[in-house]
Amino acid sequence: MASANSSVFLLITSIILISSTNAVNPPGNYTLPIASSTLCFAARFDLTFNIEYLKLDGKTNISRIPLNNETFQYYTGDCSKANSHQLTIGMLDNLTSITFYFDLNEKNQTSLKQVSVSLTIKNNDYFPNCSDNVGGSYVFLANESLFITDLSNSYRCYSKIKIDNFQSKSNVTIKSVDIENLRIQPFVDEKITFNDYAKEKVCTMDTFKSSTLIPIIVGACLAVLVVVVLAVYLVRRRRYRNGYQSV
């Protein structure tokens, strides 16, 4: 009996260790070169794939795949070109990768110019009951002009940004790549030690949220104040009436 219990314990321990080994936490910041104090690139963000594919029954399904410790595998990148940087993130047991291409133009403005997704679809937890016709590897491209800011600045956007102009291929479509909680700075000056992101340019959606939030807060405070004043008035009026009746 003791031997059987020991075997069960060892089996459970092995499963836990294997699961812990396969789980890789995404970094707080994607920095290039990796583990260097002098950087050429820095970014942090949340990312989610929304992929539509054909199922065995002929219907379509949308698989939502977030970038987290269950899907993240690695990241790498390249800053060797003076006017072009790239960041690549590998996911899903190295079956999927996404590469962001950043550009520095003649006006010394940086921006995201293109997104490339390499995707392998097979019948697994992420693409359950996928049709035999859609199994295989695909490459999707989307040309963009996002995160535009001056070279000396970083770019910040906590709001959700949808990259959704990928082309469809053989009953497979990337409906969108959603990015949020973004802070990014390509083309960092490698001559100095990187301590923090430079002065930020804030996206329009974040600015709009901030500008609309203040009136809402002020309005809510005024509403509470009116309720309090009215309550005090009613209480004092009731006390006055009670005092008058007792006389």
> String of b and e for 172-198 (b: at least 16 CB within 10 Å)?
bbbbbbbbeebbbbbbbeeeeebeebb
Q: What does the pLDDT read at residue 94?
A: 86
The Cα 28–Cα 179 span in angstroms is 15
Q: How far apart are CA 158 and CA 196, in angstroms?
A: 17
Region for 171 from its dihedrals, namely left if φ exceeds 0, alpha if ψ lies in -120 to 50, beta otherwise: left
pLDDT at 192: 87
Those residues of the chain that have pLDDT short of 50 are 7-21, 211-214, 216, 218
Strand pairing of 200-202 and 154-157?
parallel
- Per DSSP bridges, beta strands 136-150 and 109-121 are antiparallel
Q: What is the pLDDT of residue 138?
A: 95
pLDDT of residue 8: 44
Instruction: Read off the tokens for 117.
Output: 């997704």
Can you give the pLDDT at residue 167?
A: 87
Q: Classify domain 27-202 at the CATH topology level.
A: Porin (2.40.160)
What pLDDT score was predicted for residue 59? 95
Q: What is the pTM (predicted TM-score) of this model?
A: 0.76
**pLDDT tens-digit readout, 94-129:** 899 999 999 999 999 999 999 999 999 999 999 999
- Which pLDDT belongs to residue 208? 83
